[in-house]
């Protein structure tokens, strides 16, 4: 009990300490009141306690889209997020004859608003509760690694089940590497509709050339609307549904921001790895990242060639291409920052300092001395089959056919079990989501692209060494260790001929119908992809079982590792991002990115004109160029920044963000909307592993550019009026 009390006090210190740079840290909302003095010095005019009230203003207006962030900007459920966060909705509603990905979309009336597609969600966080004692309290230290994993797993599922009896969607993520657990309760809105998205020449201006780069001139915004049943409760899509009426929405600051202004970003950052060990990060830089870069480039080359030949394929693979491109540039930047930028060396020194601090005191050595060596041993053990395990996963991600078959087959195995014993992701609470994903798959599945990517992935499997073969695939396809590349290609082609000729999984009726079938009924279809999924399942299950034992071992070590970090730092450690609601703040500032190169903090319309080439990634629409010309000729606009003598487009700030923050509202010191977070600079991306408090900058789209475009270019004045009219909440 004394140790538990000390641990609670230690973590409480981490949640309340203020003696750190304010622009480092994706803070939990309850931490913000403790930063009141720092905020006041930066010009904050509100009550810091407001950020701890998840159902108040502004926190009640900020929502998750399940991978991106959005915010309510009107009392009629209007949501603003990033353009790249609605790519799926644009793709879902596109055809070669009506290409919304290229031309954008604007609903002039509520009746014209388009369904974002099956599986689209808006999550409104309503409650966060500390449940650490319920999850890890009273664990017998004599439990085996697997027993520890199973005990925690059951407790997590029980908490989620109890929480969801209230009609909410719940999760119980860990913070501080398993030291604390918080139960997150969210309202889950299931009817999401596309309202407005600008032309790609605005929303994706600069493309991959400018991605993660500065100066930037991208209009990365789009709008959804959330709908519910007439009773005000979440409901599936129906024409009878009505706009959701949030209790809070963000007022728009039409005056925008200027250099040195205080800004907040509220959102759902995905993952950071700042508390990984040096060995874990080094394995990432030595193997995972170079492999990811190489594989992304190879897949993009395949998809680019296919897309140039067929517009329909280009539309179907647009989301995959966007994800691969974004991940590729990000991974290159992280790798460069960790190795060339010296972050990996600094990480190693930090760990050496921690080890020395532990060894310097007998009590600390007894308490923590075994942690780092034990984690090192686990890391080394995990490397033995990483090639095989990663390649097995590559097969599933490359082929939508195989991925669907594996989902169907595994669901059939899980259904007969009691719900508490089903694997996470296959419990009854997940069945509707699985069905929606398989339904939505119809808009992206393509046999030509799928076969090309699966052939590529199988070539990687064919090249595996003898000690790491995927034996069920070898047996099914006729591959073997040491097979020559040319022979492997011919063997793979013959096997794929049989697979794609015999499958019915491209038929949505057939595919969806299998989701309710027993394992025997699924196998009785004799679909070749189902047969392959069944053959691969024992190996996949074996890997999952090994992973559970490993997770159980880490569940005993990581909290102690984190406890040592917190104790040494005096509590000055922020929790890693984990897709939960966070608040970060900083200032609008430029940065000296490299020797002789300084990034100014703002860009303007002039940069669009200068970059415009009329083709490719720098092809601004004629309507926008005409509007800029009219502005230059003297047309008045309230969105002009006097100091810049132009309409501002994007700006930099020192806030601490990562993936998942995309679409997050950027707020001024009054809590008003001044922009949207959408990217970071190339020099910043390694901060996911080790924060750089000098060079880290996030990129935002200025609300004035959004309003100017909506008013002067896209004839979306009705949405501007909806956002700016009425009471401020």
Residue-wise DSSP of 348-388 = HHHHHHHHHHHHTSHHHHHHHTTHHHHHHHHHHHHTTTHHH
Model pLDDT, residue 432? 96
From the candidates 84, 217, 278, 612, give the one annotated as an active-site residue. 84
84 a catalytic residue:
yes
Per-10-residue mean pLDDT of the chain, 729 residues long, equals: 43 44 74 86 88 94 97 98 97 96 98 97 95 97 97 98 95 96 97 98 97 97 98 96 97 96 96 94 96 98 97 96 94 93 91 96 96 95 93 97 98 98 97 97 96 98 97 98 97 98 98 98 98 98 97 97 90 81 95 92 98 97 98 97 97 94 96 96 91 92 98 98 73
Which pLDDT score is estimated for 7? 46
CB contact set of 29 (below 8 Å; sequence gap of 6+):
51, 52, 54, 59, 128, 581, 582, 583
Looking at residue 31, its pLDDT comes to 85
In a domain, 395, yes or no: yes
Tell me what percent of the chain is helix, strand and coil, each rounded to the nearest 5: 50, 15, 35
Residue 257 in any domain: the answer is no
CB-CB contact of 183 with 131 (8 Å): yes
Cβ(662)–Cβ(84) under 8 Å?
yes
Nearest to 714 by CA among 71, 220, 104: 104
Instruction: State residue 602's pLDDT score.
Output: 98
Following CA atoms 37, 41, 43, 45 in sequence, which dihedral angle do they give, to the nearest 10 degrees? 30
Beta-bridged to residue 700, according to DSSP, are 651, 677
- Distance in angstroms (rounded) separating the CA atoms of residues 636 and 631: 7
Q: Is residue 148 part of a domain?
A: no
Structural domain including 306 reads: 277-383
From 540, 572, 604, the end of a domain falls on 572
Residue 227 falls inside a structural domain: no
Domain's final residue, options 531, 554, 572:
572
Query: Which of residues 553, 572, 591 is at a domain's end?
Result: 572
The two structure tokens encoding residue 4: 């538990």
Element (H, E) at 639: none
Dist. CA 208–CA 657, nearest whole Å: 20
Residues 356, 292 share a domain: yes
Active site residue 687: no
Which pLDDT belongs to residue 728? 52
Report yes or no on 291 lying in a domain: yes
548 and 434, same structural domain?
Answer: yes
Q: Which of 39, 247, 84 is nearest to 661 (CA)?
A: 84
pLDDT value for 3: 43
In three-state secondary structure terms, 213 is: coil
Residues 6+ apart with CB under 8 A from 40: none
Domain-located, residue 563: yes
Joined tokens for residue 483: 């097979």
Looking at the fold, whether 443 and 519 belong to one and the same domain comes out as: yes
Tell me if residue 662 is catalytic: yes
Measured between alpha carbons, how far is 600 from 594 in angstroms, rounded to an integer? 13
Same domain, 465 and 536: yes
CA–CA gap between residue 448 and residue 313 (Å, rounded): 8
pLDDT at site 9:
42
Residue 433 lies in a domain: yes
- For the beta sheet containing 582-587, the strands, ordered from the edge strand earlier in sequence to the opposite edge, are 582-587, 262-267, 665-667, 673-680, 698-702, 648-653, 602-604
- Catalytic member of 662, 664, 687, 698: 662
Same structural domain for residues 448 and 555?
Answer: yes
**Together in a domain, 453 and 352:** no
Same domain, residue pair 450 and 537 = yes
Backbone angles phi, psi at 58, to 5 degrees: -95, -5
In the numeric block, which tokens belong to residue 701? Answer: 């789209």
Residue-level pLDDT at 22: 33
Report the 10 Å Cβ neighbour count for 432. 13
Residue 471 included in any domain: yes
403, 533: one domain? yes
> Residue 646 region, left (φ>0) first, then alpha (ψ -120 to 50), else beta?
beta
Same domain membership, residue 461 and residue 478: yes
Nearest to 671 by CA among 235, 61, 11: 61
- Are 476 and 491 contained in the same domain? yes
Q: How many domains does the chain have?
A: 2
Closest by CA position to 627, among listed 611, 645, 608? 608
DSSP 8-state symbol, 419: G
What's the pLDDT at 500? 98
The strand pairing partners of 124, in sequence order, are 187
If asked whether residues 520 and 494 sit together in one domain, one would say yes
433 and 545 inside one domain = yes
> Residue 514 phi/psi, 5° resolution?
-75, -15
Q: From the candidates 220, 527, 656, 679, which is the catalytic residue? A: 220
């Amino acid at each position: 009990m004394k140790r538990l009390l000390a641990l609670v006090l230690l973590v409480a210190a981490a949640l309340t300490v203020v003696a750190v740079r304010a622009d480092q840290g994706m803070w939990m909302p309850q931490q913000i009141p403790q930063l009141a003095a720092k905020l006041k010095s930066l010009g904050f005019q509100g009550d810091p306690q407001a950020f701890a009230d998840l159902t108040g203003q502004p926190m009640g207006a900020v929502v998750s889209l399940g991978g991106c962030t959005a915010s309510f900007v009107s009392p009629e459920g209007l949501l603003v997020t990033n353009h790249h966060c609605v790519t799926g909705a644009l793709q879902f509603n596109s055809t070669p004859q009506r290409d919304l990905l290229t031309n954008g979309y604007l609903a002039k009336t509520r009746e014209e608003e388009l369904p974002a597609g099956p599986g689209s969600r808006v999550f409104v966080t309503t409650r966060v509760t500390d449940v650490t004692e319920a999850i890890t309290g009273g664990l017998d230290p004599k439990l085996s690694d697997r027993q520890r994993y199973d005990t925690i797993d059951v407790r997590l599922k029980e908490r989620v089940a109890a929480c969801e009896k209230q009609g909410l969607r719940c999760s119980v993520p860990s913070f501080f590497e398993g030291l604390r657990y918080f139960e997150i309760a969210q309202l889950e809105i299931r009817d999401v509709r596309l309202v407005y998205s600008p032309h790609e020449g605005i929303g994706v201006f600069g493309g991959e050339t400018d991605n993660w780069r500065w100066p930037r001139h991208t209009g990365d915004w789009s709008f959804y609307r959330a709908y519910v049943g007439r009773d005000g409760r979440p409901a599936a899509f129906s024409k009878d549904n009505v706009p959701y009426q949030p209790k809070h929405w963000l007022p728009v600051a039409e005056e925008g921001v200027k250099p040195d202004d205080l800004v907040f970003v509220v959102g759902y950052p995905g993952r950071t790895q700042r508390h990984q060990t040096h060995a874990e990060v080094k394995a990432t830089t030595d193997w995972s990242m170079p492999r990811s870069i190489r594989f992304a480039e190879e897949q993009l080359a395949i998809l680019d060639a296919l897309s140039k030949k067929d517009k329909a394929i280009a539309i179907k693979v647009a989301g995959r291409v966007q994800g691969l491109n974004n991940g590729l540039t990000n991974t290159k930047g992280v790798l460069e920052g960790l190795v060339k930028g010296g972050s990996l060396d600094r990480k190693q020194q930090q760990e050496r300092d921690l080890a020395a601090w532990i060894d310097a005191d007998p009590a600390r050595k007894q308490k923590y001395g075994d942690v780092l060596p034990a984690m090192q041993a686990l890391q080394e053990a995990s490397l033995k089959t990483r090639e095989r395990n990663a390649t097995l996963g590559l097969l599933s991600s490359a082929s939508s056919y195989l991925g669907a078959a594996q989902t169907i087959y595994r669901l059939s195995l899980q259904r007969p079990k009691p719900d508490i014993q089903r694997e996470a992701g296959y419990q009854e609470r997940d069945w509707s989501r699985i069905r929606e994903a398989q339904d939505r798959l119809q808009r992206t599945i393509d046999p030509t692209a799928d076969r090309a990517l699966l052939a590529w992935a199988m070539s990687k499997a064919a090249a595996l060494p003898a000690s790491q073969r995927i034996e069920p695939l070898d047996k099914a396809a006729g591959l073997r260790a040491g097979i020559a590349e040319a022979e492997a290609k011919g063997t793979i082609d013959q096997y794929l001929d049989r697979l794609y000729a015999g499958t019915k999984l491209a038929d949505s009726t057939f595919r969806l119908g299998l989701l309710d079938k027993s394992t025997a009924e699924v196998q009785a279809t004799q679909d070749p992809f189902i047969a392959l999924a069944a053959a691969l399942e024992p190996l996949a299950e074996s890997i999952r079982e090994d992973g559970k034992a490993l997770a159980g071992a880490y569940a005993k070590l990581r909290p102690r590792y984190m406890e040592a970090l917190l104790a040494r730092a005096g509590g000055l450690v922020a929790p890693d991002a984990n897709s939960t609601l966070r608040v970060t703040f900083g200032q609008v500032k430029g940065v000296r990115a490299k020797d002789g190169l300084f990034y100014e903090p703002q860009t303007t319309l002039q940069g669009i004109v200068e970059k415009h080439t009329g083709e490719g990634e720098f092809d601004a629409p004629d309507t926008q160029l005409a509007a800029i010309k009219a502005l230059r000729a003297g047309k008045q606009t309230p969105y002009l920044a006097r100091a810049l003598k132009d309409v501002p487009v994007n700006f930099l700030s020192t806030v601490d963000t990562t993936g998942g923050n995309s679409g997050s509202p950027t707020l001024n010191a009054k809590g008003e909307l001044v922009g949207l977070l959408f990217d970071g600079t190339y020099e910043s991306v390694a901060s996911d592993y080790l924060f750089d408090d000098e060079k880290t900058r996030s990129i935002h789209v200025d609300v004035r550019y959004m309003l100017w475009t909506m008013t002067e270019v896209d004839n979306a004045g009705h949405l501007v009026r909806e956002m700016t009219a009425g009471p401020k909440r």
